[in-house]
Amino acid sequence: MVDTLNIDINKTAKSRIQEVDFTNIPFGKVYSDHMFVADFEGGQWKNFRIKPYEPLQLSPANATLHYGQSVFEGMKAYKNEAGEVLVFRPKANFLRLNKSAERMCIPQISEEMFMQGLDELLKLDQDWVPDLPNTSLYIRPFIFAADDYIGIRPSDTYRFMIFTCPVGAYYSEPVKVKIETKYSRAAAGGTGAAKAAGNYAGSLYPAMQAHKQGYHQLIWTDALTHQYIEESGTMNVMFVIGDTLLTSPAGDTILAGITRDSVLTLAREWGYKVEERKVSVKEVMEAIEAGTLKEAFGTGTAATIAQIAVIGHEGKDHTLPAVEGREFSNRVLKSLDEIKTGRAEDKWNWVHKF
Ligand SMILES: Cc1ncc(COP(=O)(O)O)c(C=O)c1O
């Protein structure tokens, strides 16, 4: 039986929605009216509440600020033709948040807290879910250490929050990426499989170096040999080489992307040859050289399918086949879009409606 959460709801006196130009929304800068909050104190989650979106008051000694004991998720909501709100695979995000939390010594949250907090928040802010093409409501659940204590140990108190922001496209064009062979995102036994805040801080410096060289993003390679492709920024990476869809196995150092799983599920359903195995840089370079690399793209909630136009490696840029001719990734992008917005059959029960 699912327990009903007792959520205290305090609505904003004045919505900010009129201030938003939904035809031109920057990614991640506009926040909806409300947020869901819960506290972990005395060994349990309590004080479930929805309140107007507002800044937090934190002690300078807040543990998260110093040691990064914090995990997060990212998912999206869309509107169907009837104007109902559809959230794409939130249960998968809930499960992954708990997996990340375990790795970072953060207490588990219940499915009721995650789903009911989400549903109530979306009911209140449903007008913030955009319905124009390439727009959606990005949803950010996260948990952070709340102790005011600068000794290093797991915090005794935590806060779980969800806020949302209407967003437009993450990338406005096919991306130029550089294969990173010096720095690493994650090492075996590290925190790469968790959506832990610090992973992203550590990735900024190498990404900034690549930006200066004109690349949008990096493709990370394994920390030990730099010979195998891992993932890219906030995306998993896939290639179509010959007639095979190829991607590195999610695991210790690679985040198990939910878009990745959805794309692989559709590919298998459509009868494509799919291989989840280590993909070497050499193999990709040789396929580009031989003309057998047909498609390369990133998969992630923020970008959905980000076409890769150019791959830089060891100082040389390799231009990939034109995006228009890419059969698989264009098909999967269209299909995912139709499922998410309720225009195609939801065979795997991916879409959640409150
Ligand atoms: C490091 C990393 N890899 C891959 C992904 C893609 O995962 P998903 O498809 O669940 O958004 C993300 C985004 O969540 C990420 O942060």
> Helix, strand or coil for residue 217?
strand
Percent of the chain at pLDDT > 90 equals 94
Q: Looking at residue 232, what is its pLDDT?
A: 95
Give the pLDDT confidence score for residue 26 in this predicted structure: 85
Q: Which residues of 253-262 are buried (b: 16+ CB within 10 A; e: fewer)?
A: bbbbbbbbbb
Is 97 a residue whose pLDDT tops 90? yes
Is the CB of residue 129 less than 8 Å from the CB of residue 85?
yes
Q: 286-333 pLDDT, tens per residue?
A: 999 999 999 999 999 998 999 999 999 999 999 999 999 999 999 999
How confident is the model at residue 171, as a pLDDT?
80
Give the residue, by CA position, lying nearest to ligand 1 atom 4: 235
**pLDDT above 80: residue 3:** no
Q: pLDDT confidence of 1, banded at 50, 70, 90?
A: low
Find the length of the chain.
354
- Give pLDDT, residue 2: 64
**DSSP-based three-state secondary structure for 208:** helix
Amino acid at 352: H
Per-residue pLDDT for 158 more than 80? Answer: yes
Judge whether residue 169 has pLDDT over 90.
no
Residue 170 has pLDDT above 90, yes or no: no
Mean of all residue pLDDT scores within the chain: 96
> Do residues 312 and 296 lie in contact, with contact meaning Cβ atoms separated by under 8 Å?
no
> What's the CA angle centered on 262, arms 283 and 163, to 5 degrees?
115
Name the residue of 236, 237, 333 to mutate for ligand 1: max ligand atoms within 8 A of Cβ. 236
Distance CA 194, CA 252 (A): 9
Cα–Cα distance, 35 to 76 (Å, whole number)? 15
Measure 3 CA to ligand 1 centroid, in angstroms.
Answer: 30
Residue 172, pLDDT score: 81
Q: How far is the CA of 259 from the centre of ligand 1 (A)?
A: 8
Q: The tokens of 228 are what?
A: 């195998």
pLDDT exceeds cutoff 60 at 338: yes
Q: What residues contact residue 19 under an 8 Å CB cut-off, 6+ apart?
A: none
Query: Which range (39-43, 86-90, 232-236, 260-264) has the least confidence?
Result: 232-236
Ligand 1, atom 12: closest residue by C-alpha: 234
| H-helix or E-strand spanning residue 119 | helix 111-124
Token pair, residue 157, equals: 């108190």
- Ligand 1 atom having least distance to the Cα of 259: 9
Please state, for a pLDDT cut of 70, what percent of the chain lies above it: 99
What confidence score (pLDDT) does residue 4 get? 87
Q: Can you name the residues that pair with 238 across neighbouring β-strands?
A: 247, 297
Dist. CA 162 → ligand 1 center (Å): 18
Q: Is the CB of 100 under 6 A from ligand 1?
A: no
Ligand 1: does its nearest atom lie under 6 Å from the Cβ of 73? no
What value does the mean pLDDT take over residues 174-181?
97
Query: Mean pLDDT across the stretch 85-96?
Result: 98
Query: Span 124-134, mean pLDDT?
Result: 94
Candidate of 170, 255, 259, 260 to mutate for ligand 1, largest count of ligand atoms within 8 Å of Cβ: 255
- In the chain, the largest separation of any two C-alpha atoms, in whole Å, equals 63
